[in-house]
Structure 1
């Protein structure tokens, strides 16, 4: 299988990472108190803190739970991941 071009890789990465809105939950003790929001997000938060996610104006996650049938989205993510790892050391084996 041929390796994706740089533009294909950028387009695939963009389509999987763009979000119009991501609301992070900071009510847990391991991130409180939030004194510096930028540093709190960068150093203490991860995807487990996502409360709400909207992509292209459509809500995909609410209160930390995926909404609707995301089978097609997950299939696309898997396909892109396989394409991106073909020929790389992580994909070898």
Structure 2
């Protein structure tokens, strides 16, 4: 028997995911070293581009340094800038 989702539960893809910013991304509203939070798709895109580190140890380190989580303000800008940075690396 499988467990059905109750109205309070959300699909895993909508849960916020945390990561540590590795660069400043002003258009998205965060700076290097801060903890950022967004849905898993956004964090994966930024991780793939090398903009954030989603490893729990990286997030724990940022927390130990006193950083609080910052919600990514403009997720579309974050993804677009992440793709642009990633494409620039591939072209080099």
- TM-score normalised by structure 1 residue count: 0.28
